[in-house]
Copies of this chain bind each other. A is one copy, B any other.
């Protein structure tokens, strides 16, 4: 019994979304092959739109393909992760700078609220909520920055690595660093906001580096 994809949008778009979802929720693991024939049978559509979706996924860095061998969920190497961390730091800093230049009291208040929610989530041992609210925090900064291109580039980098569980959480440090960032934004100190935004992500990178030096491994399930 095929799980028919609900029609309405172009099938190639729906296929993209479904495959993306499968990658982001771990159903498809890095290194794992996507069988377009089986996917099309399972979801009740022809292979054409599946192939189109795969081309898009490939350009977005979520999968890798070789002629004759279909597509495989992309495995991001430690070197790539290292590079992506630096770029995320750069972009986060940039967006914090812009947010400091552009945002009003309402924006800073919302950031504070999210950071408080993260604190509450940790105190309640709810790491799912903590993680989700952390994403919202960074999403809000990107919104306040009002540079849609930067936002897109940033999101793409985040998505490229999402299938890999490489983040080393340290809520205490994170919440504190968020508060420093908020302070700089509130004070409309763009240079300081940029610096603190970069440092925040680079701190995460250092934690990761420390962990791989202990584990000899770039990922964590």
- A interface residues, Cβ below 8 angstroms from B: 9-10, 12, 48, 51-53, 55-56, 58-60, 67, 80, 83-84, 86-87, 90-91, 94, 147-150, 153, 157
Q: How far is the CA of A55 from the CA of B71 in the complex (A)?
A: 15
- Of B67, B86, B148, B153, which contacts A147 at CB under 8 A? B86
Which residues of the partner chain B approach A56 to less than 8 Å between Cβ atoms?
55-56, 58-59
Which residues of the partner chain B approach A9 to less than 8 Å between Cβ atoms?
67
Most buried by B among A55, A59, A60: A55
Q: Are A94 and B83 in contact (CB under 8 A)?
A: no
What are 30 A-B residue pairs whose CB atoms fall within 8 Å in the complex?
Answer: A9-B67, A10-B67, A12-B55, A48-B48, A48-B51, A52-B55, A53-B55, A55-B55, A55-B56, A55-B59, A56-B56, A56-B58, A59-B59, A59-B60, A80-B148, A80-B149, A83-B147, A83-B149, A83-B150, A84-B149, A86-B147, A86-B150, A87-B94, A87-B147, A87-B149, A87-B153, A90-B90, A90-B91, A90-B94, A153-B153
**Interface class of chain A by DSSP:** helix
Q: How far is the CA of A83 from the CA of B148 in the complex (A)?
A: 7
- Of B52, B67, B80, which contacts A51 at CB under 8 A? B52
Q: How far is the CA of A149 from the CA of B148 in the complex (A)?
A: 20
| Closest Cβ–Cβ distance, residue A19 to chain B (whole Å) | 13
| Closest Cβ–Cβ distance, residue A57 to chain B (whole Å) | 8
Which residues of the partner chain B approach A55 to less than 8 Å between Cβ atoms?
12, 52-53, 55-56, 59
Q: How far is the CA of A150 from the CA of B2 in the complex (A)?
A: 42
Q: How far is the CA of A108 from the CA of B52 in the complex (A)?
A: 44
Which residues of the partner chain B approach A53 to less than 8 Å between Cβ atoms?
55
Which residues of the partner chain B approach A84 to less than 8 Å between Cβ atoms?
149
